Amino acid sequence: MIDPSMHEGFRYEVLDLIGERKIIFNTPEEIYDMLVFIGSPSRYVIKQIFRKDSDEPVAVTSTQRLFLMAGRYVGKDDPVMAVRAQSGLPAVGEVLEPFSFPHTVAGWMRGSHHGPLMPVGFADDTPTRFDGPPRVVCLGFQLKDGKLIGPRDMFADISYDNARRQALDAADYLRRHGPFEPHRLPLEEMEYTTMPSVMKKLKDRFEAVD
């Protein structure tokens, strides 16, 4: 809001991972329409962001999901996001601020559970508890003369300690649900993990209810 160079807004490319479609939203005028879709991140995700006045690229994410490509669970997804900052774009601190809260994400053990996304430095990027909890690291680079200088470990900062504590508390809370929702993903998302093999084994034992 403070930087007038950003008041023209941005264009968001949103992918429908299940329907294999994409749509472009212009913000801020279409932000509520966009939120209807990206509020369901298991299906709709932001792929790219551009400046609306120049089509200059601002951010890009990897949105491929292994289970969608293979039709079954074949391993962990490790998404990556690249974001540009400064010079008419959000400041570095504004880009990092969303990670001061451990948002709930899908993943964790066998890609089948919800867990808190914990910002950590490189030294703590060693998830072992139930193969988690989910973690995110951030590599900061300066661009000079066409070369990337760095990286700097952006989350190796005590100002994220509270987010890490909240993440650990949330991890305890979710793990105590055991194999039940909301810790385990809902059935419609489990269809792409190990669930189909279990259903195939038992399908002949289901009977109609009189």
pLDDT per residue over 66-84, tens digit each? 555 555 555 556 889 999 9
CA triple 13-23-70, angle to 5 deg: 80
pLDDT tens profile 7-44: 899 999 999 988 889 999 999 999 999 999 999 988 89
Q: Is the peptide bond between 4 and the residue preceding it cis, with omega within 30 degrees of 0?
A: no
DSSP state of 129: B
For residues 150-179, give the mean pLDDT: 97
pLDDT at position 205 is 95
Q: Among 36, 142, 93, which residue's Cα sits nearest to residue 12?
A: 36
Q: Domains of the chain: which residue ranges? A: 1-61, 64-198
Distance CA 31, CA 26 (A): 7
- Residues 6+ positions from 123 with CB-CB distance below 8 Å: 156
pLDDT value at position 62?
87
The whole model's pTM is what?
0.87
